[in-house]
């Protein structure tokens, strides 16, 4: 279990490094790519650490701490990265469901019209559409929105997902 503890420790350090980076960087917006880079650096540190622990022989195989879960611990570290990213994205984005729940929670009880007004106030569609234009997935020409090649790739993935999941269009 020593390897698991080591990987968890490194994950915490990578999260702290990312938080520190977000606090000092002048760039606005999501810093997800920075976290992905930090994660890969620390995965490298983990791999080196595992090799060093083995060479030093500090964890006896017979003890609980020496149980050789090296790959498992590495995978746990790797899977924790998207979990952190989910929470990190939530610090900057509000989903419509969260908005509805928080509004109802704050005001006690609401009618459907009140809920609709709160969602309209947030203007989810225009903010998302502008984001899609800014990220280069959608372009607006003569007042009409079309997909760029990047957007078409996303649409193809969504079509594949619809085929696989067998579900109606989401949203």
Partner 1 sequence: MTMDVLTMGTGFFSFGTFLLIHLIAFRRMAPEHLLRSLLTCVIAMMGLPILLMGIFYIFKLVDAALQAWVCAASLALVIQGLLCFVYVLCVFGPYETSVRMRLVREIAQEGSKGISLQDLLGRYNSETIVNVRLQRLLGSGDIVEKDGRYRVGHNRNFFFVFDVIAGVLKKWINK
Q: Which stretch binds partner 1 (CB under 8 A): 37-45, 48-56, 86-94?
A: 86-94
Number of residues that bind partner 1 (CB under 8 A): 70
**CA-based nearest residue to 136, from 124, 126, 149:** 149
- Tell the smallest beta-carbon distance from residue 41 to partner 1 (Å): 20
Tokens representing residue 145 in the block: 């929105």
Asked if 54 is part of the footprint of partner 1 (rule: CB under 8 A), the reply reads no
Instruction: Based on the shown chain and the rule CB under 8 A, indicate whether residue 152 belongs to the binding site for partner 1.
Output: yes
Cα–Cα distance measured from residue 137 to residue 118, given in angstroms and rounded to the nearest whole number: 28
Residue with tokens 């020496």: 66
CA 153, CA 138: separation in Å to the nearest integer? Answer: 11
Span 11-40, contacts to partner 1 by CB under 8 A:
19, 22-23
Q: Considering only CA atoms, which of 98, 6, 114 is closest in space to residue 52?
A: 6
Q: Least Å distance between CB 12 and partner 1?
A: 13
Tokens representing 8 are 């968890």
Q: Which of residues 90-149 bind partner 1 (CB under 8 A)?
A: 90-91, 95-98, 100-102, 104-105, 108-112, 115-116, 119-120, 124-125, 128-129, 131-132, 137-138, 141, 143-147
């Amino acid at each position: 279990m020593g390897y698991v503890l080591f990987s968890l420790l490194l994950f915490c350090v990578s999260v702290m490094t990312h938080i520190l980076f977000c606090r000092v960087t002048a760039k606005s917006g999501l810093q997800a790519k920075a976290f992905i880079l930090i994660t890969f650096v620390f995965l490298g540190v983990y791999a080196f650490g595992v090799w060093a622990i083995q060479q030093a022989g500090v964890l006896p195989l017979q003890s609980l701490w020496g149980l050789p879960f090296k790959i498992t611990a590495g995978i746990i570290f790797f899977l924790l990265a998207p979990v952190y990213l989910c929470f990190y994205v939530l610090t900057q984005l509000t989903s419509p469901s969260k908005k509805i729940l928080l509004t109802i929670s704050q005001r006690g009880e609401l009618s459907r019209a009140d809920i609709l007004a709160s969602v309209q106030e947030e203007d989810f569609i225009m903010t998302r559409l502008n984001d899609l234009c800014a990220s280069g997935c959608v372009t607006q020409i003569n007042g009409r929105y079309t997909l760029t090649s990047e957007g078409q790739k996303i649409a193809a993935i969504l079509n594949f997902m619809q085929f696989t999941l067998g579900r109606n269009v989401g949203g």
